[in-house]
A and B are shown apart, each in its own frame.
Chain A
Amino acid sequence: MPIQYYIFFCLTLFSIGVIGVLTRRNAIIVFMCIELMLNAVNLLLVAFSKMYHGAALQLAPQSTAGIDAQIFVFFIMVVAAAEVSVGLAIIVMMFRNTHSIDINFLNRLKN
């Protein structure tokens, strides 16, 4: 499978996430769209890792080139899990204070 197909697919998923962040006002949906973007990037990292692994296998059959990208994806998942727990706690606190999850409430931070 050519690498371009994977890039096009991941770009589509990423753009859907961007559109969601730009058009929705529900804070939880915005948060979910960020997760969608993270996953698109993860898939692209794995595809690139397999691309380099395939190229390195032809030179050396025992090569483990490209494993760094998969470790990277693992760490992205770790950080995303930590980020979600703190972010959802912030959203719950915001809902407790204002009884709405409108993202425009956070406008007040700007003064």
Chain B
Amino acid sequence: MNTLEILFYALSAFAVICASMVLISKNPIHSVLWLILVFFAISGHYILLNAQFLAIVNIIVYAGAIMVLFLFVIMLMNVKKDNEPQKKLLTKFIGVLAGGSLLTLLIALVKQTSQLEGKQVLMKEGTIGLIHPLGKALFTDYVLPFEISSVLFLSAMVGAVIIGKK
């Protein structure tokens, strides 16, 4: 087992454990903190795949901006952890069963797929994840979606202000 595999397994196990803790923990603030750890693990995976630009953007946008927004909202609402509404035990059990069935079904499907046999993911090599090729593609082939996304941001900003203003 080489270093890459050890890192892959360690990051995967860490991400899955933290994602489970997001669901298990009762306090919403703890859930946010566990989710931030999941995002850091996913950024580690991006670095393993040599997608350095996406790793940095993932940390800045998700762990930095979006999760801080979540924390702000939770602290603004001052939600007590003991009066959080709980679903019935049967509903929870059925939910876990449904999610587990989905996982089992999809894993069985992937295991059967012959097209994926022997396909390798290129790790720690290749330059497409660096900022120079990505920026070139973004501002030549994808310049129209880029401009449209700025309009999307403007509309989201206006919408958030209007909804929040009451």
Contact = CB atoms under 8 A, between A and B. Distances in A.
Contacts of A55: 119
B54 to A, nearest CB: 6
A95 B164 CA distance: 11
A28 B105 CA distance: 28
Interface residues of B, number: 84
Given A16-B16, A18-B99, A101 B129 contact: no
Contact of A2 (B95, B121, B128): B121
Contact of B110 (A4, A15, A46, A95): A4
B76 A70 contact: no
Interface string B47-67: 001110110011001100110
Contact of A54 (B85, B120, B145, B160): B120
A77 to B, nearest CB: 5
Contact of A13 (B19, B61, B106): B19
A79 B118 CA distance: 34
Interface in B111-127: 111, 116, 118-123, 125-127
Given A1-B8, A1-B123, A36 B22 contact: yes
From B74, B99, B127, name the one whose CB has the most chain A CB atoms within 10 angstroms: B99
Contacts of B58: 39, 42, 77
Interface string A43-68: 10011011101110100000010111
From B16, B111, B119, name the one whose CB has the most chain A CB atoms within 10 angstroms: B119
28 contacts: A3-B121, A12-B16, A12-B103, A13-B38, A19-B95, A19-B96, A19-B98, A19-B99, A22-B96, A22-B98, A23-B87, A26-B28, A29-B31, A32-B31, A35-B62, A36-B38, A46-B49, A51-B119, A53-B126, A54-B122, A54-B126, A57-B122, A73-B54, A81-B66, A82-B155, A86-B159, A89-B163, A89-B164
